[in-house]
Structure 1
Amino acid sequence: MERSSAAVGAVRRLRTHPAQQQQQHPRPNQQQQQPPWRPGQEPDGLDGKKPAGSRGGGGARGLPLLPEARTALLLLLYLLALRGIAHLSLRRLVQPAERRPGEDFSAPRARTYLENITAIGPRAVGSPENEIFTVNYLLEQVKAIETQSSHVHTISVDIQRPTGTFSIDFLGGFTSYYDNITNVVVKLEPRTGAEHSVLSNCHFDSVPHTVGASDDAVSCSVMLEILHTLSKSPKPLQHAVIFLFNGAEESVLQASHGFITQHPWAKSVRAFINLEAAGVGGKELVFQTGPENPWLVQAYISAAKHPFGCVVAQEVFQSGIIPAETDFRIYRDFGNVPGIDLAFIENGYIYHTKYDTADRILTDSIQRAGDNILGVLKYLAESDKLAKSHEYRHGNVVFFDVFGMFVMSYPARVGSIMNYIVTAVAFLYLGRKTLQLRKRVSYLKELAIAFGFSVLSWLAVLIGVLIIAVFISLLGRSLFWYTHFHASVLLYGTAAVAGLILLHTLAKTFYYKNTSEQFLGELFFDVPVVFWSIMLALLTYLGHSSAFVSAIWIVFPLLTKLMTYKELKEKGATMKFLAVYLLGMFIPHVYSLYLNWIIFEMLIPILGRSGSEIPPDVIVAAFIVLATIFLSSYFLKFIYLAKSTKMSIITLATVSAVMFVLVCSGIFFPFSSDFANPRPKRIFLQHMSRRFHSLDGQLAKSDSGIWINGLDYGGISHITPHIPELNDSIRTKCEEGAPLCGFPWILPVDYLFKKNWYLPAPAITPKKPAHFQLLSKERTPSDSTKFTFEITGPSHMSVFLRPREGSTLSRWSLGDGTPLANNVGRDYFIYYTHGLQASPWRFWIEMKASEEPTKGMVTLSVVSQYLFEEDHNSPQLQALAERFPNWTFTSGWVSTYDQFIF
């Protein structure tokens, strides 16, 4: 296909050999063809033509191209250096510094608190360990601190036992009700009093079967030591500091709701710091701030000694990719208070397991957390802005740490202006080049073709690697990377790189075979400039503060272009050019790798407990391919500036193929029982008894057995060789018509765990069984039917509601009075906990029917969870748990399920 003119710019037509062009007859009235280039006019081949006489191994005027072996070696060393720098930055905890005894945070003393709290054992809500022993220990320590405090401060202590209810759109949406749970609230204030306060929050409860050293005993230990340090200060603070040791966070954020909505001190809170964990030790990451209130970020920047936080982590967390919430959500939504959310993120593999013990948390990790939180709390307690924090709520802020050394921040509105300026500069650069070359080559058209081909190559590589991931999942080798993460990089990463190099080599060989290599180098440098400019403009328009990453990928490459242009133009693609180019691209590459590693640090452990329905290999493969595309976007030009890519493609394809064979052979077992670095498989075992009642209240059917849930995509496939009776022959079936399929879910996560197993076992009768009764049924003036119920039972219970055909649930006594249905299904889920002492739980619902109901108006299920004490275990449950291999972590308890129709 011919271009519109035989004049100087037709790149595709230049595929014809110059000798053949001389034999062609000119068309009538056609002007005499100009030479490929004139003296002083782009003698470096940027007009798209490969000058006659140039050899296959050189660019314009025979300028050299990059030797494949040395180029590949240099790129490999460069990537390893990037990885090493990012790793060292993420693992560096504290810098040696001169400390002032008595004035600075003492990690050894905080460790003593930590060891004493974890020595109490697991601390589930409603257990004596949580409600009595831990509370008494905290009170003793606060009293001891008070005796050593200076005369300028006073310490007040209050034990709060709140009762309340709220609805939250977490896990599809559900409603929570709590009764007589526990908060230990400590206020440090100037002796003259203080009108305003800053809140520091931790939780001392834990999930069953773990002592919860990182989640969240270490945070409470840090807060005790901060209280000790601040109370001894000879200088009074301007504002009060409230330390909330909340005793019911693991029961879906209930204690924080009880404090912020009911405690009289909550009215004085103007800002908060929430201390959480998604891993065991390491650095504590600032992953949420605000809402808005950029002055809080500035307070962290000014006061934290070892800053570590990024708005990218905030946007990833708030996107819902990570299925988790913290007390930050409660203070923000129900208290309208701005704050900072911090969490330990390292080694999430053992989070919420028996391995989360005090000895796994480094003293340096405690020290850096204490230094940071003490500094920020003290800064806020002495800030004039705290008293009028709502007046400083003016937009979001862009913030990111630079390898843990310092934090950069600026208002998001300033960032938007900067981003649009960078986008404009990028398009001015492209526009100038287009105008310069318009008489010699249709550069804009060639750029569009190259951009389209690059996008297609990215999509092709992504689809190809995802097909590999799906095949591995279907083969039953999913999660091979859980203990061997490097294997996923060697499989998916090398496959992605090999695919990109192959596709662009084919384009170079067949489509661009008579085009100047230097022109192609320019062209495929500009392709990522266009890509990142589009990303920058789009993300900025959508209001994402993380758009600054795209700006980095434009600014530094353009500066690098200025540094390397002369070298490339005069001497060709030399190793010196490559070295200078890599040096100029160092910052965007190392920072992007740094961010990617933080995301993988949080994401990979979560994928080991993300349920049976989401193929985690697809997610890991997609993330690795996207990371590869981003990190290699400015490396594509080297494919066109290299003499050859044959050995690179063969080597990468071989590595990927070998890894594929090894993965398919099962050599990479996903889980590990190595005590020093465990990667356990998580299993829930519930010995349950179920009873289903008919509309007339009679028992229709009942059964009992051990209900088994594997928390990962592999289910129990790895368990069957060890316990043969656990196989797909005992897969559970959904009870049609029953809320949440008739199973005793502790949270409404049935949509994530559709594959579960049921092993028949003898019926169980708890010594403290739950009691449920209908107290009244009456018609209301609004033509509804009001049902009032009463329930007594263990500390953890749930109620599932499903309106029957022709009926709707209009009102109830829970939450804000408006029923919140789970948006994943059509059921209503009510989560209930209570402390040691609680009154019978009464609530009412109002049902409306479109016609006279003959089959009932609502199906209601009452679930009781016995998580501790004598009722929590059974001989059958214990015997089964002991048969599981040592690379598993089993959580077992007893449950009852009673279904009624009204």
Structure 2
Amino acid sequence: MERSSAAVGAVRRLRTQQPPQQHQSQQLQKLRRRRPPPKEEEGWDWKKVGGGSSARLLLLPESRAVLVLLLYLLGLRGLVHVSFQQLVQPARDPKEFNAPRARMYLENITAIGPRAVGSPENEIFTVNYLLEQIKAIELKSSHAHKISVDIQRPTGTFSIDFLGGFTSYYDNITNVVVKLEPRSGAEHAVLSNCHFDSVPNTIGASDDAVSCSVMLEILHTLSKSSEPLQHAVIFLFNGAEENLLQASHGFITQHRWAKSVRAFINLEAAGVGGKELVFQTGPENPWLVQAYISAAKHPFGCIVAQEVFQSGVIPAETDFRIYRDFGNVPGIDLAFIENGYIYHTKYDTADRILTDSIQRAGDNILGVLKYLAKSDKLARSHEYQHGNVVFFDVFGVFVLAYPARVGTIMNYVITAVAVLYLGRKTLQPSKKAVIYLKELAIAFGFTVLSWFATLVGILIVATFISLIGRSLSWYTHFYVSIFLYGTAALAKLIFVHTLAKTFYYKHANQQFLGEVFFDVPLVFWSITLALLTYLGVSSAFISAIWVAFPLLTKLFTYKELKEKGATMKFISIYLLGMFIPHLYLLYLNWIIFEMFVPIMGRSGSEIPPDIVMAAFIVLVCILLSSYLLKFVYLARSTTMTTITLTTISAITFILVCGGIFFPYSSDFANPRPKRVFLQHLSRRFHSLDGHLEKSDSGIWINGLDYGGMYHVTPHIPELNDSIRTKCEEESPLCGLPWILPVDYLFRKNWYLPAPAVTPKQPVRFQLLSKEQMPWDSTRLTFEVSGPSHMSLYLRPHPGATLSKWSLGHGTPVVNAIDGDYFVYYSHGLKALPWHFWIELKASEESPKGMVTLALGTHYFFGEDQTSPQLHALLDRFPNWTFPSAWVSTYDQYIF
């Protein structure tokens, strides 16, 4: 009995002498049972809280957390993919838009072949086909309408600040104009615009024959209706859009029906088929957006696309610009955006455009035109011109729109709620408030550091890939860019925060870390929201989503995190609350990728596409992960995640450097061609006295992407850097016949010597007169005759000023990039010689003359378009290229 009592006493003594850590854990559990969790205003014990086993229970298991996040991201991607597949079937109702009939129009137009301005295919064959179809439609129209047709052949000139600024002159180009109106006539009209011309050497099914086909079918549908319209509908089939928007200018400034136009819909393309995106509206006519929302059966559009396009990031313009600037008419700009890889190539054929895509576009445009033609607002459209409108589609299902001023109020209210949430944490005892602000600032610093380190690191990788000649490896294989740059970016972000967690927050409470690293992105998005709203950027609604939904999510997850820690229930509720912001941002990014990636294949030799792509992917990763990085601090470990992401990126990097991913593809079903321009060129340089000073000839070659001729050289060895084109510094645009003033984008080009070419329709240029004007200036009058496409370049000499000319609005427009003057000229059939004059003022007489004037010609069709040397060289290009070739001349004079 004594031994037994002694043993019991020893056991009792051992129980009372427990390890301090276990004793502390038991004491904490007793305290938790005795009283409820502390209220938020009691604050967090920011430091030295969370040690021991109880803290470890708060941490997420890495494998389960990663699995949930991966499934979450895959689900988001799947939903985005589904939203882009929402196409429609052809209508069965004969009163509705009939896509098969529109397809018949499309196939017949594209069967004519390439339709460059001035060619018989454009000026005669296509025009005749359109007139035949319009006549057939007129014969079957109901008695409620009357159809009028006019062939316009305008001549005019204008200046525009696109591409640095240039001036355009057109002569006798072609428009086919059709007006559908009530029998009693109509004072006001809505305009629908397409263009039937195409870029040289392409048949332009998507750009823009399909739009003209859609318009023909809409004309057919409306004309058969027995219900009269209130206003007229004008269908403009314009024949010179690819010539820098000339035909639309000719219509809106010269046609007698133009004054009745109160609104327009412009149908364009930046890709081949798919959905047609509303990417421009207005200006300042929110009623037009409401009309689109009310009438379009399958709406798809976003203010983000409008602000990106109008920012100039995408070097393009549409007829929307002409109607807005020269006609002061509000409108809607739509464009097909899918598969921009084959836009403006030989692969842009009718068979690549799905019938359901045509049906979708037809349903939308027919609905909007019919709505506008019956709207009382059309007649008084100027009365509804007040402010902009924020609009965005919700995954292609419907469109939300509200006035920009309402959006401003909403944005500031959301910002104020975020400030109140954050401010509440500073209304604690001064010591705790100071600690909170200090820790928030430090956490924000770690976050900014992770962003900066990630961006710099990824850009270094992208620069290295560009320098070794492996750029555009993702052009055909898009996911290569995600595996190369996206995984590396995420690994870098996680790694930096893991270091902060390991060394700085070693003894910090995990609940505090979850709080503060939620507040950091909230501060970032709130500042962004306030700033964008202040600047009047309508796309600020995205920031509003990223402030409002996280705050709601915090409301639903706060209790779970505080009482039970970072459980799987917590992460599930959290991700569910963040579902809309993540899904919508991913949806927008996918639209941007759809348009942006193909542009990198034609963006010029001076913009490294991998650096641009890497920067964009880093930005997307930063934004999408902004509220997810808190899980780094709530997870037990991030080791396997970081290693896996780094391994994927490293393997992809090795494969890219090894040249495994070839940028281009000749797959007929899904081509990704490399674009190359070839011009068989003859150049002549004349001295001040008019004598020929020097001349040369060769094939001038421009690769439209950053890779230049790197990939082509193994197939055509002579196209190497030994024949790089030398710039003639004293000549405008380096003494080369640029069709557009884009030489700053294409500094790397090649000049392969070849025999001189002599077109059968040579250019004729002469000085008609030289007059001394009363205001101490000299007027030079010229006459030019030549092919349908020519470019005029002017460079005044030092001490001389180009003060006036007969082009544009009379005041010369200098190109802001090159400092020279650029004039784009084109003509249709039977055009008279081009006459123009310029006036120069010289401060002192120079023996070298006052001005250098050069004339470039471009033979885009007919027997002068090609040469035996061009044919022979084209045959040697690999099948994954799209070489577009023609003959050019360049003549330079000094006066």
- Deviates further, 877-886 or 561-570: 561-570
- Deviates further, 651-660 or 337-346: 651-660
Displacement after TM superposition at 1:88 (Å): 1.1
- Secondary structure at the aligned position of 2:743 is classed as coil
Matches within 5 A, 1:561-580: 561-580=554-573
Matches within 5 A, 1:575-590: 575-590=568-583
Question: Equivalent of 2:489, from 492, 496, 518?
Answer: 496
Which amino acid in 2 is paired with 1:576? K
Displacement after TM superposition at 1:90 (Å): 1.4
Per-residue Cα deviation, 1:791-824 (whole angstroms, up to 9, x for no partner): 0000000110000111010000000000001100
Query: CA contact under 8 A between 2:803 and 2:840: conserved in structure 1?
Result: yes
Structure 2 gap segments, 5+ residues each: 1-19, 25-31
Which amino acid in 2 is paired with 1:47? W
- Secondary structure at the aligned position of 1:872 is classed as coil
Displacement after TM superposition at 1:64 (Å): 2.5
* Pairing 1:352–2:344 present: yes
- Secondary structure at the aligned position of 1:410 is classed as strand
Question: Equivalent of 2:354, from 357, 362, 377?
Answer: 362
State the alpha-carbon separation in 2 of the partners of residues 400 and 164 from structure 1.
38
Aligned residue for 2:738? 745
Aligned residue for 1:602? 595
Aligned residue for 1:14? none
Query: CA contact under 8 A between 1:437 and 1:443: conserved in structure 2?
Result: no
Which amino acid in 1 is paired with 2:391? F
CA RMSD of aligned residues (A): 1.6
Aligned residue for 2:728? 735
* Pairing 1:47–2:44 present: yes
- Secondary structure at the aligned position of 1:66 is classed as coil
Query: CA contact under 8 A between 1:177 and 1:833: conserved in structure 2?
Result: yes
Per-residue Cα deviation, 1:501-527 (whole angstroms, up to 9, x for no partner): 000010011111111011000000010
State the alpha-carbon separation in 2 of the partners of residues 213 and 222 from structure 1.
12
Displacement after TM superposition at 1:92 (Å): 1.7
* Pairing 1:882–2:875 present: yes
Per-residue Cα deviation, 1:232-254 (whole angstroms, up to 9, x for no partner): 11110000000000000000000
* Pairing 1:245–2:242 present: no
Question: Equivalent of 2:532, from 539, 542, 547?
Answer: 539
Q: Tell me: CA distance 1:41–1:797, structure 2 relative to 1, closer, same or farther (3 Å).
A: same
Q: Tell me: CA distance 1:52–1:788, structure 2 relative to 1, closer, same or farther (3 Å).
A: closer
Per-residue Cα deviation, 1:331-370 (whole angstroms, up to 9, x for no partner): 0000000000000000000000000000000000000000
State the alpha-carbon separation in 2 of the partners of residues 301 and 106 from structure 1.
22
- Secondary structure at the aligned position of 1:515 is classed as coil
State the alpha-carbon separation in 2 of the partners of residues 858 and 294 from structure 1.
49
Matches within 5 A, 1:155-174: 155-174=147-166
- Secondary structure at the aligned position of 1:883 is classed as coil
Aligned residue for 2:542? 549
State the alpha-carbon separation in 2 of the partners of residues 436 and 38 from structure 1.
21
Displacement after TM superposition at 1:44 (Å): 12
* Pairing 1:781–2:793 present: no
State the alpha-carbon separation in 1 of the partners of residues 766 and 187 from structure 2.
47
Aligned residue for 1:649? 642
Query: CA contact under 8 A between 1:294 and 1:396: conserved in structure 2?
Result: yes
Aligned residue for 2:677? 684
Q: Tell me: CA distance 1:177–1:53, structure 2 relative to 1, closer, same or farther (3 Å).
A: closer
State the alpha-carbon separation in 1 of the partners of residues 238 and 846 from structure 2.
45
Matches within 5 A, 1:339-488: 339-436=331-428, 438-440=430-432, 442-488=435-481
State the alpha-carbon separation in 2 of the partners of residues 160 and 52 from structure 1.
81
Displacement after TM superposition at 1:780 (Å): 0.5
Question: Equivalent of 2:182, from 185, 190, 195?
Answer: 190
State the alpha-carbon separation in 1 of the partners of residues 92 and 645 from structure 2.
55
Per-residue Cα deviation, 1:201-242 (whole angstroms, up to 9, x for no partner): 000000111110000000000000000000011110000000
Which amino acid in 2 is paired with 1:343? A
Displacement after TM superposition at 1:51 (Å): 5.9
State the alpha-carbon separation in 2 of the partners of residues 516 and 64 from structure 1.
10
Per-residue Cα deviation, 1:450-479 (whole angstroms, up to 9, x for no partner): 112211211111111111101100010000
Matches within 5 A, 1:809-888: 809-888=802-881
* Pairing 1:181–2:173 present: yes
- Secondary structure at the aligned position of 1:764 is classed as coil
Aligned residue for 1:794? 787
- Secondary structure at the aligned position of 2:257 is classed as helix
TM-score, length of structure 1 as denominator length: 0.94
Query: CA contact under 8 A between 2:49 and 2:508: conserved in structure 1?
Result: no
- Secondary structure at the aligned position of 1:870 is classed as coil
Query: CA contact under 8 A between 1:64 and 1:573: conserved in structure 2?
Result: yes
Displacement after TM superposition at 1:437 (Å): 6.5
| Equivalenced residues, count | 865
Query: CA contact under 8 A between 1:45 and 1:516: conserved in structure 2?
Result: no
Aligned-pair identity in percent equals 78
Displacement after TM superposition at 1:736 (Å): 1.3
Query: CA contact under 8 A between 1:122 and 1:208: conserved in structure 2?
Result: yes
Query: CA contact under 8 A between 1:45 and 1:51: conserved in structure 2?
Result: no
State the alpha-carbon separation in 1 of the partners of residues 425 and 146 from structure 2.
70
Displacement after TM superposition at 1:567 (Å): 1.1
Matches within 5 A, 1:154-303: 154-303=146-295
Query: CA contact under 8 A between 2:341 and 2:671: conserved in structure 1?
Result: yes
Displacement after TM superposition at 1:578 (Å): 0.5
Q: Tell me: CA distance 1:81–1:45, structure 2 relative to 1, closer, same or farther (3 Å).
A: farther
* Pairing 1:520–2:510 present: no
Per-residue Cα deviation, 1:1-34 (whole angstroms, up to 9, x for no partner): xxxxxxxxxxxxxxxxx99xx9xxxxxxxxxxxx
Displacement after TM superposition at 1:52 (Å): 6.0
Query: CA contact under 8 A between 1:771 and 1:793: conserved in structure 2?
Result: yes
Which amino acid in 1 is paired with 2:44? D
Aligned residue for 1:628? 621
- Secondary structure at the aligned position of 1:733 is classed as coil
Which amino acid in 1 is paired with 2:132? E
Query: CA contact under 8 A between 2:43 and 2:432: conserved in structure 1?
Result: no
Query: CA contact under 8 A between 1:58 and 1:65: conserved in structure 2?
Result: no
Aligned residue for 2:84? 90
Displacement after TM superposition at 1:698 (Å): 0.5
Which amino acid in 2 is paired with 1:83? R
State the alpha-carbon separation in 1 of the partners of residues 358 and 586 from structure 2.
26
Per-residue Cα deviation, 1:236-282 (whole angstroms, up to 9, x for no partner): 00000000000000000000000000000000000000000000000
Displacement after TM superposition at 1:54 (Å): 3.1
Query: CA contact under 8 A between 1:86 and 1:594: conserved in structure 2?
Result: yes
Displacement after TM superposition at 1:434 (Å): 2.3
- Deviates further, 82-91 or 745-754: 82-91
Displacement after TM superposition at 1:784 (Å): 0.2
Which amino acid in 1 is paired with 2:328? N
Per-residue Cα deviation, 1:91-112 (whole angstroms, up to 9, x for no partner): 2212x69x55221000000000
State the alpha-carbon separation in 1 of the partners of residues 93 and 574 from structure 2.
49
Displacement after TM superposition at 1:42 (Å): 4.8
Aligned residue for 2:707? 714
Structure 1 gap segments, 5+ residues each: 1-17, 23-34
Query: CA contact under 8 A between 1:44 and 1:570: conserved in structure 2?
Result: no
Q: Tell me: CA distance 1:53–1:252, structure 2 relative to 1, closer, same or farther (3 Å).
A: closer
Query: CA contact under 8 A between 2:189 and 2:262: conserved in structure 1?
Result: yes
Aligned residue for 1:28? none
State the alpha-carbon separation in 2 of the partners of residues 693 and 45 from structure 1.
87
Displacement after TM superposition at 1:438 (Å): 4.5
State the alpha-carbon separation in 1 of the partners of residues 54 and 414 from structure 2.
34
Displacement after TM superposition at 1:436 (Å): 3.7
Per-residue Cα deviation, 1:419-469 (whole angstroms, up to 9, x for no partner): 001001001000012224755352112111211221121111111111110
- Secondary structure at the aligned position of 2:108 is classed as helix
- Secondary structure at the aligned position of 1:815 is classed as coil
Query: CA contact under 8 A between 2:43 and 2:428: conserved in structure 1?
Result: no
State the alpha-carbon separation in 2 of the partners of residues 402 and 438 from structure 1.
45
Per-residue Cα deviation, 1:44-95 (whole angstroms, up to 9, x for no partner): 996144666732x653xx542110011111111111110111111012212x
